[in-house]
Amino acid sequence: MGLYTRPDSPFWWCWLEGAPRPRVNTKVLIGTDPEQRKANRALAETIYHAQMANRARARFGLPLERPARAFAAHRAWYAAHVSSAKRGTVRERSMLTQLGGTFDHQLLAAIDQEAVREWRTTRLTQVSASTVRREEALLRHLLTTAVPKYLERNPLSGLRGLRVPVPDTRILTREEETRLLEALTDDQDRALVIAALHTLLRLRNAADLTRAQDHGSYLYADTKVGAVKVPIASRLRQALDALPANGPAYFPRYAGLSNNLVIRMFREACVRAAVPVWRKTGGVSFHCLRHTGASRMLEAGVDVKTVMEIGGWKNLAVLERYLHPTDARKREAVEAIGRDQPPSRSRSRTSASG
């Protein structure tokens, strides 16, 4: 077989007898240990056979097969040219590495629904279903980007996605909010929680707030749909003004750093305030501040259009996921069924004429 290695290259090469350019780099790494070397050699052999098959088809005027491409090579390309342009590039690169542990030794064309089901079953024994769903969504998109150059169609088309039970998002009660703010003795932490509650900003956008975004009576806040003009509530104005002006960021302890720092701070404060945490067990998370603010606005009679603009929601369907009627409102709704109704106008007129 025309498969060989070179001292100046970490890849397997193949020799295509009779081709104008017979030396072809398979882009498959040689491997660092015997097991990996064996698996990578088998992958390189597959590429070699595909190359030779294409030469035979070309000789007899038959349609050529699409070029073979290893998952590892396409994963590297995806990370460099697709993931790098996304907001969650660090998290996505981690998921790509995880997927590579299963699929790197395969060709893209060899990945089918059966292989993904097997991966899904194994992965569910290691992590939560929501994590598996996110990784599978990334795998689907990666394979989509290989169409039509390397794949005729996405092999996962038609594969039913993993169903994940979504826990109800809980909002803070007024009493819990009071205890939580009292538990936040640090001015920076307290101001960050108040900012998330009053601006409806997501964690990252709230933590990265700068003084340049502050225009006195309003903020120009960054959201998924672009910059949004958000009026500054009096309580938020007071909290921000209490912070020392030590730099461009309002929250230098968290700006540009891992979200986990804010999440840990919020959870520890909730524990001190006796506020249940962890969404899976009916508790709250930092993101619940956004839900709480939106629900309170609507409960106070603020029109939906205004809430959508402040929170940066594209449409009502997305906003509806953030609306949570309180127990008091639910009680009022069911009591209204048996409540006496005022007499109709026609009945009132008949009574008056009699």
Note the pLDDT tens digit of each residue in 142-190. Answer: 999 998 788 888 999 999 988 877 666 788 999 999 999 999 999 999 9
Instruction: Write down the mean pLDDT value for the chain.
Output: 85
Q: Is the peptide bond before 148 cis (omega within 30 degrees of 0)?
A: yes
Q: 298: exposed, middle or buried (C-beta count within 10 Å: 0-12, 13-18, 19+)?
A: middle
Q: Structure tokens of 231?
A: 């009026």
Residue 345 pLDDT greater than 60, yes or no: no
Count other Cβ atoms within 10 Å, centred on residue 70: 25
Contact between 262 and 203 under an 8 Å Cβ cutoff? The reply is yes
Residue 123 binned pLDDT confidence (cut-offs 50, 70, 90): very high
Phi then psi dihedrals of residue 209, to 5 deg: -60, 135
| Amino acid 302: pLDDT | 87
| Amino acid 174: pLDDT | 93
Residue 45 pLDDT greater than 90, yes or no: no
Q: How distant is the alpha carbon of residue 88 from its chain centre?
A: 7
Contact between 192 and 206 under an 8 Å Cβ cutoff? The reply is yes
| Amino acid 44: pLDDT | 84
| Amino acid 347: pLDDT | 46
Q: 42: exposed, middle or buried (C-beta count within 10 Å: 0-12, 13-18, 19+)?
A: exposed
| Amino acid 348: pLDDT | 44
Count other Cβ atoms within 10 Å, centred on residue 350: 11
Greater pLDDT, 68 or 138: 138
Residue 354 binned pLDDT confidence (cut-offs 50, 70, 90): very low
Residue 61 binned pLDDT confidence (cut-offs 50, 70, 90): confident
Residue 60 binned pLDDT confidence (cut-offs 50, 70, 90): confident
Contact between 296 and 329 under an 8 Å Cβ cutoff? The reply is no
Q: What is the mean predicted confidence (pLDDT) over 330-334?
A: 64
Contact between 201 and 207 under an 8 Å Cβ cutoff? The reply is no
Residue 131 pLDDT greater than 70, yes or no: yes
| Amino acid 58: pLDDT | 73
